[in-house]
């Protein structure tokens, strides 16, 4: 899976002739925007990889894993594993002023989830998909 995700990003950049951009200049909410999608693909890939199932059941299961509360809990499981650089990206995302908030989340969960998504986006855009998978695996482990 890792190679195909990177091939997709490389293909998009090549097909649309997108310039190389310093990811560190991106707003934390832009990082969270792409990070949300990347994490969703990881979770959906896990669920679909377990075997054929009804799409509605897959959606419900994914929804329990990809929401502010679950992502906040995942962040707490991986917090000690983060490098200094990763912690800085997380904090930028957590502290970003968002105009919206999730309906079924506390403000603290929502902010941590935004930081988590920003970290996933940063890792994706910097080509560190192995690290995404490593952190996702640890974050999704049951306590």
Using CA atoms, how far apart are residues 132 and 130, in angstroms rounded to an integer?
5
Neighbours of 61 (CB within 10 A): 16
Confirm if 42 and 132 have CB atoms less than 8 A apart: yes
Helices (H) and strands (E) in the chain, counts: 7, 0
The CA-atom distances, in angstroms, between 63 and each of 20, 23, 107 are 33, 28, 19
Q: Give the residue numbers marked as catalytic.
A: 36
């Amino acid at each position: 899976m890792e190679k195909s995700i990177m091939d997709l990003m490389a293909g998009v950049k090549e097909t649309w002739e997108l310039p190389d951009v310093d990811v560190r200049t991106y707003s934390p909410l832009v990082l969270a925007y792409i990070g949300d999608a990347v994490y969703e693909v990881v979770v959906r890939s896990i669920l679909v990889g377990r075997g054929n199932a009804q799409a509605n059941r897959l959606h419900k299961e994914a929804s329990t894993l990809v929401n502010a509360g679950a992502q906040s809990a995942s962040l707490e499981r991986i917090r000690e594993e983060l490098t200094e650089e990763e912690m800085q990206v997380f904090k930028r995302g957590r502290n970003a002023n968002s105009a919206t908030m999730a309906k079924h989340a506390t403000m603290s969960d929502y902010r941590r989830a935004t930081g988590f998504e920003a970290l996933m986006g940063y890792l994706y855009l910097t080509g560190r998909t192995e690290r995404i998978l490593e952190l996702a695996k640890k974050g999704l482990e049951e306590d």
